[in-house]
């Protein structure tokens, strides 16, 4: 165990987590309201598939082309889900699950002959948030700012297509920073914890998210444990505590 905390590592990673939370907290509330909980896993996996396809093409993993490939894949997935929800709304959750498994297995097939394929898939799932640097946050920050502005302007009028497109862009901006597991956790867990709160719901969800990221990063540095997995657990435990201390009954209206 190393008790030393290197803030030059922790602070950029924490900044990445805050960027993710800015968009994922309000979008997570929309996901619960619409009853399509696993959409984030599907879109995140589709964005990851775009990254894998770009990698097969030997593109710079830190370059804009990879970001573009992930965005195109996620937007195409969002457009497809928009159409399936309109065409077969009664089985939308099942269709989301099918898209997730198809994207996941397509990624496995594409890296089947890559000696580093398993490691790359692991990075996309669990993330490498502890090694994020400030220079990697510029593009996600710009995308996050645009999405937050759109959410503010469209509040209460977030139709099917705008929701799916904004969701796709938000996930694209976050999946390479924190990985698929943290994308799902950031979207769903804080929203679940505060769903019965009538007041201060959004600020409380942000506090849960920030506290989970901070605790997970610090503990992972101290005990040399995988940061993404530990953040998931810290965030979930904190969310459970907030939920246990809060009001019970039917969820308050969003």
Q: What is the pLDDT of residues 187-216, one digit of tens each?
A: 999 999 998 888 889 999 999 999 999 999
d(C-alpha 99, C-alpha 32), whole Å = 19
Separation between Cα atoms, residue 206 and residue 50, nearest integer Å: 29
DSSP reduced 3-state for 61: coil
**Cβ pair 157, 18 in contact under 8 A:** no
Alpha carbon distance 114, 131 (integer Å) = 23
What's the pLDDT tens digit per position in 137-190? 998 999 999 999 998 888 767 788 888 889 888 988 898 889 889 999 999 999
Q: Which class is 7-245 in CATH?
A: mainly alpha
């Amino acid at each position: 165990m190393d008790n030393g905390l290197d803030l030059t590592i922790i602070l950029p990673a924490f900044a990445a987590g805050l960027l993710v939370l800015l968009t994922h907290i309000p979008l997570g509330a929309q996901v619960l309201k619409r009853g399509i909980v696993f959409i984030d896993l599907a879109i995140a996996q589709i964005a990851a598939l775009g990254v894998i396809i770009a990698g097969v093409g030997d593109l710079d993993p830190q370059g804009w082309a990879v970001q573009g490939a992930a965005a195109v894949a996620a937007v195409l997935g969002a457009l497809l889900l928009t159409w399936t929800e309109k065409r077969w709304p009664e089985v939308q959750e099942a269709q989301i699950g099918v898209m997730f498994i198809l994207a996941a297995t397509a990624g496995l097939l594409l890296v089947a002959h890559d000696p580093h394929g398993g490691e790359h898939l692991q990075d996309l799932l669990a993330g490498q948030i502890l090694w994020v640097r400030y220079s990697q946050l510029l593009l996600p920050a710009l995308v996050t700012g645009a999405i937050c502005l759109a959410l503010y302007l469209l509040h209460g009028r977030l139709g099917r297509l705008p929701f799916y497109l904004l969701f796709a862009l938000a996930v694209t901006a976050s999946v390479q920073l924190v990985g698929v597991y943290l994308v799902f956790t950031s979207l769903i867990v804080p929203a679940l914890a505060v769903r019965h709160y009538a007041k201060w719901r959004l600020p409380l969800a942000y506090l849960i998210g920030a506290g989970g990221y901070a605790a997970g990063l610090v503990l992972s540095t101290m005990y040399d444990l995988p940061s993404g997995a530990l953040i998931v657990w810290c965030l979930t435990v904190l969310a459970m505590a907030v939920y246990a201390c809060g009001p019970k009954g039917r969820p308050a209206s969003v």
